[in-house]
A and B are shown apart, each in its own frame.
Chain A
């Protein structure tokens, strides 16, 4: 049983986006032989949930969101090797391939979604920006991811989201993957129009969506 105050400190480190504190607390937890899954679920993850609430309330904005996601990432980076050593599965969310479609170099939003997904317990394969459509399929096949997230910021590149779905269909792979779309020109209507499995307007909504979709599997 981990002390409540320790769990609270972990929560606060995430809420404050304090990377140094998050790392220190994670290292302490490993050193003291604490139950790492409890550390994650009752300590750090609760901080992330609080961050989500603060965003919804309009108290937290993008800088806070990304700092908190980064703090979570560094805490997990300390905990993961230990979990692997003990053969405990930490990333229970599932595997996600994400990237900005080819022809488009915009990645701020995509990076935020990737960070938040990673912070939220998903194993994220971020292919970067200007990603050739075949690469999304190749990567998903190679790592066994079930969810592909596509970002596009330009009205001229968003058609690549439609093309990727077409590509999957052509290869008889459409039903194997859930394709989620995002980016400024995208919308629920657009997602429906191109036959995508979902759309999210911002990073917090994206994590919720991925959780829901992954949960259905």
Chain B
């Protein structure tokens, strides 16, 4: 059989990639990076970086950075809650997760954004648990009915109760790391077990240009020491917090992320790291950060290509839209990002469900986007030979009136070759009218209700559940938080 080609997108030529990396390394050496964390500065200094404690500035030499790159694993295996299902985060494996840390939910009935509550987060987790083409969960919504002091760890706690998928998450406060790690350790049954079978990725964003804050540097240190993969999310805004040219932003991206990678490696050599990001073309009229802009998508594809050149797992925020409702803009921005991200072979693609500049989630959009992901996976599977000869046998005994519908060949291959329509409308016009002229958004809404109705909580061992309940309650108490919301499995 002829080998099936995996479709691929590469925006940069080899020389360009090397040049950008070279300038990124030079930037680290000459200008350096501000790091607002004394321990990270000290560790980098001990490893040979030129550190000015007063200005909190570290200049990293090439040898240091190259050494750090050499010790960073080029692939990470993430496991589900049970520890049985493994997901390769590396090579050209593609996994989608819902865009994270949204503060509002698009309410289908009112078509307005409203502050998300714990009840919404519960529905979100349940829904994503049922979506076949979204392999990872993310702590995608922030409950407004939970005090800020515990909101980062509460959303992870809730998610672990409701879902068996691996998690993309992160801390909002330095203090949040400890309980979040404790949940993961409890689920795995030990620190060593967690290290061997990571269950969650912790996102950390440098502050453009060229700075790692105390919170995010601390997250890198803590995660590295626990063997928890850190996803580096450089997020330059072209012409505002990074150079206006795409290539210029890529240089900054390399510098910021490699500094983050170095912090991880000096804390714990061999720490798992993902070369990720959420940069954007900055809108020079509105002063906003369009995630659906084609330039944003291009920056993402290109920095991921650079990440692969550096032999690192990759991530991007793609497959999302800046639209405020599920309209054509939401459709095309999401689809373009999802397709181009997948063709770029990006390992973790954060985006499905997301609207309004990464601030809103929509359950209906999650379902629609799952359909987009289904199309993407079909595309990645490429065109296979299937049969040898390809078609000549099918034409055996050809007569002009032969049909293919009843042919055994058709029956044998049609389900493997063509995916199901899902929610996509393929009715003839009259049938569509007769069925009520339903839009895909309305169909998605009905599908959300159906899925939530069918949701069955993946079993979690009683002692484990009790343990994480205990950890959550203790943390809430110690943070001065009274009551936590009541919710149902």
Chain A residues with a Cβ under 8 A of chain B: 58, 61-63, 105, 108-109, 112, 155-156, 184, 202
Chain B residues with a Cβ under 8 A of chain A: 103-104, 115, 148, 207, 239-241, 244, 284-285, 287-288, 359
Instruction: Decide: A156 and B103 in contact? CB cutoff 8 A.
Output: yes
Kindly list chain B residues whose C-beta atoms are within 8 Å of the C-beta of A58: 285
Select one of B104, B115, B287, B359 contacting A202, CB under 8 A: B287
Instruction: Decide: B284 and A105 in contact? CB cutoff 8 A.
Output: no
Please count the residue pairs between chain A and chain B whose beta carbons lie under 8 angstroms apart in the complex: 25
The 7 closest A-B pairs by CB, nearest first: A61-B284, A62-B284, A155-B103, A108-B240, A61-B285, A109-B287, A63-B284
Instruction: Decide: B287 and A108 in contact? CB cutoff 8 A.
Output: yes
Nearest B residue to A108 by beta-carbon distance? Answer: B240
Kindly list chain B residues whose C-beta atoms are within 8 Å of the C-beta of A61: 284-285
Complex CA distance for A206 and B481, rounded to whole angstroms: 40
Kindly list chain A residues whose C-beta atoms are within 8 Å of the C-beta of B287: 62, 108-109, 112, 184, 202
Interface on chain A toward B: helix, strand, loop, or mixed SS? loop
Kindly list chain A residues whose C-beta atoms are within 8 Å of the C-beta of B104: 155
Complex CA distance for A62 and B240, rounded to whole angstroms: 10
Nearest B residue to A112 by beta-carbon distance? Answer: B287
Select one of A63, A112, A156 contacting B239, CB under 8 A: A63
Chain B min CB distance to A12 (Å): 22
Complex CA distance for A155 and B207, rounded to whole angstroms: 19
Complex CA distance for A202 and B359, rounded to whole angstroms: 20
Chain B min CB distance to A51 (Å): 14
Kindly list chain B residues whose C-beta atoms are within 8 Å of the C-beta of A105: 207
Instruction: Decide: A108 and B284 in contact? CB cutoff 8 A.
Output: no
Q: What are 14 A-B residue pairs whose CB atoms fall within 8 Å in the complex?
A: A58-B285, A61-B285, A62-B239, A62-B284, A63-B239, A63-B244, A108-B241, A108-B287, A112-B287, A155-B104, A155-B115, A155-B359, A184-B288, A202-B287
Complex CA distance for A211 and B207, rounded to whole angstroms: 34
Complex CA distance for A202 and B284, rounded to whole angstroms: 12
Kindly list chain B residues whose C-beta atoms are within 8 Å of the C-beta of A156: 103, 148
Kindly list chain B residues whose C-beta atoms are within 8 Å of the C-beta of A62: 239, 284-285, 287
Instruction: Select the residue from B239, B285, B287 with max chain A CB neighbours within 10 A.
Output: B287
Chain A min CB distance to B378 (Å): 38
Complex CA distance for A155 and B357, rounded to whole angstroms: 13
Chain A min CB distance to B242 (Å): 12
Chain A min CB distance to B322 (Å): 12
Complex CA distance for A63 and B115, rounded to whole angstroms: 34
Kindly list chain A residues whose C-beta atoms are within 8 Å of the C-beta of B115: 155
Kindly list chain B residues whose C-beta atoms are within 8 Å of the C-beta of A109: 287
Instruction: Select the residue from A58, A61, A112 with max chain B CB neighbours within 10 A.
Output: A61
Nearest B residue to A109 by beta-carbon distance? Answer: B287
Kindly list chain A residues whose C-beta atoms are within 8 Å of the C-beta of B284: 61-63
